[in-house]
Amino acid sequence: MKRIEDFYNDGCFLCGNMCGVKRISGEKGKCNSDDTIYIASRNLHFGEEPPISGYDGSGTIFFSNCSLKCRYCQNYPISQFGVGKPYDQDRLINIILELQKKKAKNINLVTPTHYSYHIYRVIKKLKDGLLNIPVVWNTSSYENPEIVDFLDDVVDIYLADIRYSKNSDAEKYSSVKKYTDIAFQNVIKFFKQKGNLQIDEYGYATKGLLVRILVLPGMVENAKDIIKFCYDNFGREIYLSLMSQYTPYYKALDDPNLKRRVKFEEYQDVVDYAKKLGLENCFIQEIEDVEERCL
């Protein structure tokens, strides 16, 4: 039986890029990461969906670097240029315990995929009686699907983006191969492990899957295809977050397709489609008509 070390020590295969570089010897893969954990920030965050943030806040840790290269990433200094400070596993343990002490409702690991080996080891130790709040895996869903099997032991809630319904769009806009094949496979695994989102009597998520769909400009069909995938595989009760917040940053400013915000009509079209399918648990964002402000 394979161990998580087998996907890391002799060559890194933690994510769908499958680089095979020896990070423990200082080599860096496509995610720009070697063996050192880099963290950009850690704090109580109030901007996630209500069952994740609530009134008390989510104990959020933003990891630096990323296995995707999204042209429009709003956090590009962190994800693409590695802004952050180095930490080892012991210091990561301390950060998590500090957030728990500050009454965070959960530990929200943002962009964790390329550090899944390190995080797995850390959370395994903490789950042994020290950590008593849920662990949220806040992911682009581009893990090596074999790694997801290990995550079952350490993750309580999957907050999972599905970005593209076509591999070709993922190659074009995020420079990753077979994204859709991998993400769809992973999200099915997430659901099999944890089921649909479970919310306690105080409104906080305790376990399960919440799928996030960022509506991209001119890509309404992409969002609808992802909604349909969720409906077909998880039923109408699946929790979805339909996100209208797209704002062009980074390389999107020079991209003819990406250099504008999402129009009110586009977002409404996506919301209407979810309603038409009878999806019961959708988080919807407010959107003003941004046409006048399109770049």
The one segment of 27-35, 95-103, 194-202, 261-269 that binds ligand SF4 by CB under 6 A? 27-35
For residues 257 and 1, what is the distance between their CA atoms, to the nearest angstrom?
Answer: 46
Minimum distance from residue 138 beta carbon to ligand SF4 (Å): 16
Q: How far is CA 182 from CA 91, 143, 147, in A?
A: 32, 8, 12
Euclidean distance between CA atoms 50 and 283, whole angstroms: 9
Q: Which of residues 73-132 bind ligand SF4 (CB under 6 A)?
A: 114
The residue range among 11-19, 54-62, 72-80, 149-157 that interacts with ligand SF4, by the rule CB under 6 A, is: 11-19
CB of 177 to ligand SF4, least distance (A): 11
Q: Extract the tokens encoding 9.
A: 């020590």
Per-residue x/- mask for ligand SF4, residues 36 to 75, rule CB under 6 A?
-------------------------------x--------
Q: End-to-end distance of the chain based on CA atoms, in angstroms?
A: 53
In angstroms, rounded to a whole number, what is the distance separating the alpha carbons of residues 53 and 73? 22
At 118, the amino acid letter reads H
Q: Kindly determine how many residues on this chain lie close enough to bind ligand SF4 according to the rule CB under 6 A.
A: 15
Report the nearest approach of ligand SF4 to the CB of residue 167 (Å).
17
If the CB atoms of residues 8 and 250 are measured against ligand SF4, the closer one turns out to be 8
* Choice from 4, 14, 270, 287 touching ligand SF4 (CB under 6 A): 14
Told to check if 139 binds ligand SF4 by CB under 6 A, we report no
Query: Tokens at residue 250, please?
Result: 């980074």
In the numeric block, the tokens 């180095």 are attached to 86
* Burial category of 168 from C-beta neighbours within 10 Å (exposed 0-12, middle 13-18, buried 19 and up): exposed
- Minimum distance from CB of 181 to ligand SF4 (Å)? 16
Q: Is 151 in the site for ligand SF4 (CB under 6 A)?
A: no
User: Helices (DSSP H) in 8-166: which residue ranges?
Assistant: 50-53, 76-79, 89-101, 116-126, 145-151
Binding site for ligand SF4 (CB under 6 A): 12-15, 17-19, 21, 23, 29-31, 33, 67, 114
